[in-house]
Amino acid sequence: MISRLAGKKIVLGLTGGIACYKVADLCRSLIKLGAQVQVVMTQSATQFITPVTMQALSGNVVYTDQWDARITNNMPHIDLTRDADAILIAPCSTNFIYKLAHGACDDLLSTLCIARPATLPLFIAPAMNVEMWSNAATQRNVAQVKQDGVNVFGPAAGDQACGETGMGRMLEPEQILAELEAAFQAKTLAGKRVLITAGPTFEAIDPVRGITNLSSGKMGYAIAQAAWEAGAIVTLISGPTALNTPYGVPRLQVQSAQQMHDAVMAQIGAQDIFIAVAAVADWRVANASDQKIKKTSEGDTPQLTFTPNPDILASVAALAKPPYCVGFAAESENLLAYGAAKRIKKNIPLLVGNIGHQTFGKDENELVLFDADGHQALPKADKQTLANQLITEISKRI
Ligand code: C5P
């Protein structure tokens, strides 16, 4: 997917903190995604990483001083933000949050923030010792900057460079990028609660064997990320996959269809939208063994009997007050006919069809959306692009 940050001009401000070393990597990632990065550093930041490093990584001269003569009108605090799309301060120190909260203008970066156009978004990624973060004055200043419209990314909890542990670690560069990508996405699902099932289920034969379906989980995880980026409060209920959990999305891990059913039913009351992407096994082994089934020297094979699993989507659609339900159908042929029929059979407003063998495990897919008005194709694209398009289509319909 082409990043939303491609072509965006980001003013990247560094303040004093050991997390500056991670921002070198962040800067490189922004450039790789196609952003233009203008680095501005406070004097304290230059104690942790050199302007030369940031210049080499950003490909632009780095400004550290209000009185830099390289800007001909001597007004870097004005000029640097006039064609910018965002300011990101990372790491953002305790002192810099204090300066933002009080409108201080005693160096280039703080002056530039005050002098930014009112419509220019300002994001900060705080990084500090746990006691500094929890200090009442810091919390007062954080609350103030939030009230003033500054977006605060993190911080996270964990081990700190000082040797202490707790809240105050800067988000990792990839998490800051996820926040930044989301910041440029329209919040079409703001505040909506979205529950998503993804991946396959695994039905035990015995403690070491089982049957499963072909599903990597990529489509469901991409939809979870797209829904979070669109402002939804997302919960992902996932069968076994090898995927990283999308940033910002809590993931409940299950194995069997019954566990997935129970996890969905426990959450469904609070949901506005349910998207069933999981490839749920239709049957489970009725006579699963508690102990490993031994091979016999006679070569006997176990006789498995099956019993149907609950249809999770149908159970949700049958609730007295169901959320907006979206189902998936992986067919091997006749997608248009089967998809339309499946939507009616499942009694849901929207069904997403795809051809199974074209999508399993792949990064690309093509979808057909079926609703009461007919069908609509989403042509071949990577799964994240399709997930974004699907979320847009869902938000138009709810
Ligand atoms: O009936 P079929 O399995 O083709 O339906 C697929 C849709 O129903 C998908 O959205 C899938 O997640 C959902 N489903 C379910 N529980 C099942 C079987 C399918 O939620 N037991």
Q: Which two tokens stand for residue 353?
A: 């069809």
276 alpha carbon – ligand 1 mean position (Å) = 7
Ligand 1 residue neighbourhood (C-beta within 6 Å) = 197, 257, 276-278, 280, 309, 311-313, 327-329
First to last CA, the chain: 26
247 alpha carbon – ligand 1 mean position (Å) = 26
Residue among 268, 277, 307, 311 to mutate when testing ligand 1 (max atoms within 8 A of CB): 311
Nearest to 361 by CA among 185, 122, 200, 206: 200
Contact 203, 284 (CB under 8 A): yes
Cross-strand partners of 13: 40, 89
What is the C-alpha to C-alpha distance for residues 147 and 188, in angstroms, rounded to an integer?
Answer: 22
What is the C-alpha to C-alpha distance for residues 234 and 192, in angstroms, rounded to an integer?
Answer: 8
Ligand 1 atom with the shortest distance to the CA of 197: 12
**Residue whose token pair is 């009112």:** 118
Ligand 1 atom with the shortest distance to the CA of 326: 10
User: Which residues does 390 contact at the CB level (< 8 Å), separation at least 6?
Assistant: 223, 226, 326, 352, 367, 369, 378
What is the C-alpha to C-alpha distance for residues 206 and 175, in angstroms, rounded to an integer?
Answer: 39
282 alpha carbon – ligand 1 mean position (Å) = 8
Q: What angle do CA 277, 278, 282 make, to 5 degrees?
A: 125
Which of helix, strand or coil describes residue 380?
strand
User: What distance lies between CA 30 and its chain's CA centroid?
Assistant: 17
257 alpha carbon – ligand 1 mean position (Å) = 10
What is the C-alpha to C-alpha distance for residues 200 and 255, in angstroms, rounded to an integer?
Answer: 8
196 alpha carbon – ligand 1 mean position (Å) = 12
Is residue 325 annotated as a catalytic residue, yes or no?
Answer: no
Which of helix, strand or coil describes residue 115?
coil
164 alpha carbon – ligand 1 mean position (Å) = 48
Query: In the sheet where 251-253 sits, what is the strand order?
Result: 251-253, 233-238, 193-198, 273-276, 324-331, 350-355, 364-371, 374-382
Contact 151, 87 (CB under 8 A): no
| Identified catalytic residue from 20, 27, 92, 162 | 162
Contact 201, 254 (CB under 8 A): yes
337 alpha carbon – ligand 1 mean position (Å) = 17
What is the C-alpha to C-alpha distance for residues 76 and 331, in angstroms, rounded to an integer?
Answer: 59
Global pTM reads 0.92
Protein residue whose Cα sits closest to atom 17 of ligand 1: 311
CATH 3.40.50.10300, the chain: domain bounds:
193-287+303-397
User: What distance lies between CA 365 and its chain's CA centroid?
Assistant: 20
What pLDDT is attached to residue 259? Answer: 98
Residue among 280, 352, 359, 394 to mutate when testing ligand 1 (max atoms within 8 A of CB): 280
Protein residue whose Cα sits closest to atom 5 of ligand 1: 329
Ligand 1 atom with the shortest distance to the CA of 309: 21
Classified by CATH at the fold level, domain 193-287+303-397 comes out as Rossmann fold (3.40.50)
Residue among 312, 334, 344, 350 to mutate when testing ligand 1 (max atoms within 8 A of CB): 312
What pLDDT is attached to residue 273? Answer: 98
Ligand 1 atom with the shortest distance to the CA of 352: 10
CATH 3.40.50.1950, the chain: domain bounds:
9-183
Series of mean pLDDT values for 10-residue runs along the chain (398 residues): 95 97 98 98 97 98 91 85 96 98 97 97 96 97 98 94 91 97 96 98 97 94 98 98 96 98 97 98 96 88 95 96 96 88 95 81 89 95 96 97
Contact 170, 91 (CB under 8 A): yes
Does CATH number 3.40.50.1950 belong to domain 9-183? yes
Ligand 1 atom with the shortest distance to the CA of 328: 10
What pLDDT is attached to residue 45? Answer: 98
What is the C-alpha to C-alpha distance for residues 379 and 368, in angstroms, rounded to an integer?
Answer: 8
Residue among 215, 313, 359 to mutate when testing ligand 1 (max atoms within 8 A of CB): 313
